[in-house]
Each structure stands twice: as structure tokens, then as C-alpha cells.
Structure 1
Amino acid sequence: MDGSEPGQTVAAAVLSGAPVELQARTVRIYKPAKTATQSGDWHGHQWRMDWDVLQKGHRWENPLMGWQSSADFMQGTHLSFKTKDDAIQFAHKQGYEYFVQEPNERRFVPKAYANQFVYSAKKLKQVRTK
């Protein structure tokens, strides 16, 4: 985008003079999943926006430790939004290409210990103890 495209809004990155590498970035908008160490009702109801990793030439192996190094300053950056629409509106206003990853909603099936002893008209189950 260089600001000459027809439309109602001009991307903020064009007006701010941001580098072209930053203007052409793709962002991912998603709702993060609950971590494995959390239990119960999870209160992570915010949407998150991350920048995709840059392709070739921006990563190299550190010769001292063998770790991957990067010149990508947006790699560890993320933004949080209250709603998906807020995140999409921000990405559109900034002129970013974006894709939305819809969350996998967990179905909760209520269970009760007492349900094991409720009468049903089925054949009785025999449990052998010896």
C-alpha cells in the first residue's frame, strides 16, 4: 500500500512513514487457548494479535550457543483486544493484511456422582469382585 489506492481510509502506516517491511506484514488474530496448568473456569476472554515470522534472511544460527537469532523486532510483540472486531478494525486501520483464527470452543458436559445410582430400565450390570 502506498496511499494511492481508492477507499475511504488511508492506512496509518503510510501516513506515519513506517518502513515498507512493517507495512507489508501479515498479522494473525486469535483467541489464545487455556494453558495446561490452568483448571476450572478460565477467564481469558481477550483476543490477541501477533505478527507472522518473516521469511528467509531474517534468522540465523548463533555460533556461540547454536540458538536461533532474529533481526525481526516484531517477533515477540503482541497486542490484546477485548473483541475480535476491535482487532480487525485496528489491523485494517494500520493497513495490515490479517487472518482470523476462530477458537475451538470446549463443550462442558456436567457430571454428577449420584447419576451412577439412578434407576434405569436396562439390564443390571454385574461387577465381579473376585
Structure 2
Amino acid sequence: MTARIFQRPKNAMQSGKARIDDWVLEFVPAEAKRPDPLMGWAGSGDMQQQVVLQFGSADEAKAYATRHGIEARVAVTPPKRLKLQAYADNFR
């Protein structure tokens, strides 16, 4: 059972900074999704895909994974770069 630990990205519709400091432990899918023959929805028999755990820090998530014998890898969040420019730069 493997999992990945990552920091939740900011939603495209989100302008604030709520819930972007949370770290998420999410299990890697064990099997591929397949379409349901009746409805056409994508699904699988893997119940671990539905489990999403939130933590306050990456260390808490790693400690939980080691305590429960889950092999986890941490995806480091790249640093945020701000491109500062003035409105007048659009007309140069």
C-alpha cells in the first residue's frame, strides 16, 4: 500500500489562502479505473482511492504513514514566484 503526501494546490477559483497550508495523504490507485457498462461512469474496486487524510504539516503525515506501515513519498511544493509588474508595462 503506497501513498503520496503533498500540499494542496490553490484552486483556480480561489483568491484567498484558505486550506493551502494543509498537507494531504492520498493513496496511489492500485488498479485502473474502468467505465461502468450500464451508466458509463468511471470507477474501480479499489476502496483506498476514497481515503484522503489531511494534516497540519508534512511531518505529521509522515509520522502517521510510518505508524501505520504505509509506504509514502512526499511531493515537495515548488516555491511560489511572483511576477511583479505595473499596469503601464502593458503599453510599452
Letter in 1 for 2:3: V
2:26 corresponding residue in structure 1: 50
Contact 2:7–2:77 (Cα < 8 Å) also in 1: yes
Matched, 1:98 2:69: no
Task: Report which stretch shifted further, 76-85 or 63-72.
Answer: 63-72
Per the TM alignment, residue 106 of structure 1 is displaced from its structure 2 partner at its CA by: 1.5
1:30 paired to 2:11: no
Q: Distance in 2 between matches of 1:68 and 1:112?
A: 46
The TM-score normalised by the length of structure 1 is: 0.59
The runs of 5 or more residues in structure 1 that have no matched partner are: 1-24, 117-126
Q: What's the CA shift for 1:45?
A: 0.5
> Are 1:79 and 2:53 matched, yes or no?
yes
Amino acid at match of 1:42: K
Distance (whole Å) between structure 1 residues aligned to residue 57 and residue 22 of structure 2: 7
Partner SS state of residue 62, structure 2: helix
Higher strand share: 2
Considering Cα pairs closer than 8 Å and 6+ residues apart, tell me whether 1 or 2 has the greater RCO. Answer: 2
CA drift at 1:112: 4.7
Distance between the aligned counterparts of 2:83 and 2:31, measured in 1?
Answer: 43
Preserved CA contact (<8 Å) 2:31 2:46 = no
1:63 paired residue number: 37
Runs of at least 4 residues off by over 3 Å:
109-113
- How high is the TM-score relative to the length of structure 2? 0.80
Deviation at 1:67, TM superposition (A): 2.0
